[in-house]
Structure 1
Amino acid sequence: MDARMQQLIDDLRTDLVAHQDKSGLDRLRSVLARTEQAVKELRQLAAVYKEDPVQLIQLLKFVRPEIESYGIEEGLLYHLISNQPIATPGLQIRYYEEELTALQATLRLHAFYYQYYKNGFSELDELYFLPGNYRLSLPVPDVPLTENDSTPVSYLFARFRAIERLQRFIAEEISRLERQDLYGVNVRVNHGASLKWTGELVNVVELAYGIWLTGQLNNGNASLNQIVRWLEGSLDVSLGIIQRKFTEIQRRKRYSVTKYLDRMKKAIIQKIEEENE
């Protein structure tokens, strides 16, 4: 990527940090204004590359979507938070899950383009990212008419980036609310703390199943998913699809299937023996 392109992105990201202390409509307006400023600077740079299709594709496939995505994300986030119900954690979780489903529906609506974006394909770049070469075959509500210096697919790429970041935000909020619902208090994890799980992730899964199967939380009423979310937040890890890691535990041949718990048991017994000597 051209150094000037990267500088535009870096400057925007740095400036947006200053808007994090703002909230509501004030934050939305300031982020949109700064993003629009970056787009204007981008147009000036695009004029330089007007006769260079390789650089122009880079600009409209990667740089402009990255810049525009922050404004799109902020608009989506504003409406998400504004419409959040004042309710119990369970009802708020349901609200976020419904919003997550709606975002996924948007990605499915543009499934072909999303797969092109997600897989980093390039075969149709000249068609998709050179202005004037392509128009979407079917008009859809969330793809606006683009300027002569952009393309519909470039805008879609910006929207995909914004939606992916918003999905991660919603997933974190659901995780936080599940912990709040689990304990009846708002448990916020300080990810800047010094404690972080640095062992194998499969060991956390083994621990999660052990806690769940022996009913150690909420009189045995805590679900496996709640326990996993709690451990992820407390230990600052992401376990992904734990069923896959549990399959890994089941397939252990050389060692005991409860290898980590066995190590814990052995270490505790050894510590007791040392103390008794």
Structure 2
Amino acid sequence: MKPYDFNYFYEFECEYEALKNSKYDVLELCHKMIEFIQEKLKELGKWLKSHIFSTIQEEIQFFKELKPKMVSKIIYHQQLLKIEGSLPPTKKKKKKHYEKELVKLYEYGMNNKEFYEYYRSKGSYKDEEYFVRKQYKNLWDNCSHLISDSKLCTSHDFILATFIANEILEGYLEKKLEELNGNHLINNSLLNSNLNWTASKVDLVELIYALHLSGAINAGNCDVKEIATYFGKMFNVDIEDNIYRAFIDIKSRKTIQTKFLNTITENLNRKMKEDEL
């Protein structure tokens, strides 16, 4: 690989897409992908050990834009192999399995909240801190040399790669849940409502989870995301793609977790007391 040769990454993406479109089942494809990407990362690591970037900006670009995209692909397929390799047999258990994995993805973001917000906001003011190499080793005990050797990594390029992988995996898991739910899509003409939800989206998620867990809808025998889709259409608000993440936020509240439910309960009790006067 020539120094800072963008063609290397372009060729990698072409080979990756060709393999991705091959006719392997998900587990076999994961094995093939992991083997393929490992070889490419070895080549990259060998080049990187002796390469000197001409500017700080080049180094930042490499560790912020180029390397994480490649590393994210092996993280994704390693996670996917683990998830699908341990998939339970029944529909109900599969749904719980996928939902549990979704929660793990959101918790990873919460555990790295400051950097996750930096990543989501497309920040650049801390790039030299996050994406320039420093002289230390063994940053993570569970990583390969490409993400623990100070010549090959920065403090945050692996975390960034994990965020990218998790976003792809999130889409995969949500699609799987939709398939298990029978793709219960709502015809917009059936719910052409003039009612608009004017509280926050998190408030609506809190209400939906309360109804779901209480068994008030289909005796609890339905998926929470299906309920979210109906409520979203009914009240003209899009929440189904963020419902699991919002629930993590609700659980992470430091004071009162059920703020919205407490508020509407207080309002109802106040109204009933006023009517008695």
Residues 209, 224 of structure 1: 8 Å contact kept: no
Residue identity matched to 1:13: E
Alignment of 1:82-93 (within 5 A): 82-88=85-91, 90-93=92-95
TM-score (norm 1): 0.61
Distance 1:46 1:135, change over 3 A: closer
Residues 140, 148 of structure 2: 8 Å contact kept: no
Residues 69, 159 of structure 1: 8 Å contact kept: yes
Distance 1:223 1:129, change over 3 A: closer
Which stretch has the larger CA shift, 45-54 or 125-134?
Answer: 45-54
Match of 1:207 in 2: 189
Residue identity matched to 1:76: Q
Match of 1:217 in 2: none
Residues 72, 164 of structure 2: 8 Å contact kept: yes
Alignment of 1:37-76 (within 5 A): 37-43=39-45, 44=47, 47-76=50-79
Residue identity matched to 2:32: S
Residue identity matched to 1:179: G
**Residue 168 of structure 1: which of 168, 171, 183 is its match?**
171
Measured after TM superposition, the shift of residue 51 of structure 1 is 3.4
Which stretch has the larger CA shift, 69-78 or 44-53?
Answer: 44-53
Alignment of 1:2-151 (within 5 A): 6-20=6-20, 21-23=23-25, 26-43=28-45, 44=47, 47-88=50-91, 90-132=92-134, 146-147=148-149, 148-151=151-154
Can you give the 5+ residue segments of structure 2 that lack an aligned partner in the other structure? 194-216, 239-277
- Matches of 1:169 and 1:134, distance apart in 2: 36
Distance 1:162 1:206, change over 3 A: same
- Matches of 1:165 and 1:38, distance apart in 2: 20
- Matches of 1:246 and 1:28, distance apart in 2: 37
SS class of match (1:122): coil
SS class of match (2:182): helix
Residues 191, 234 of structure 2: 8 Å contact kept: no
- Matches of 2:137 and 2:157, distance apart in 1: 11
Alignment of 1:162-201 (within 5 A): 162-179=165-182
- Matches of 1:64 and 1:72, distance apart in 2: 12
Measured after TM superposition, the shift of residue 15 of structure 1 is 1.3
Measured after TM superposition, the shift of residue 120 of structure 1 is 1.1
Residues 72, 165 of structure 2: 8 Å contact kept: yes
Measured after TM superposition, the shift of residue 37 of structure 1 is 3.1
Measured after TM superposition, the shift of residue 205 of structure 1 is 6.9
- Matches of 2:136 and 2:232, distance apart in 1: 39
Residues 57, 129 of structure 1: 8 Å contact kept: yes
Measured after TM superposition, the shift of residue 124 of structure 1 is 1.4
Residues 30, 78 of structure 2: 8 Å contact kept: yes
Match of 1:256 in 2: none
Residue identity matched to 2:177: I
Residues 9, 66 of structure 2: 8 Å contact kept: yes
TM-score (norm 2): 0.61
- Matches of 2:179 and 2:70, distance apart in 1: 29
Residues 192, 234 of structure 2: 8 Å contact kept: no
Residue identity matched to 1:131: R
Measured after TM superposition, the shift of residue 94 of structure 1 is 1.7
Residues 206, 246 of structure 1: 8 Å contact kept: no
SS class of match (2:65): helix
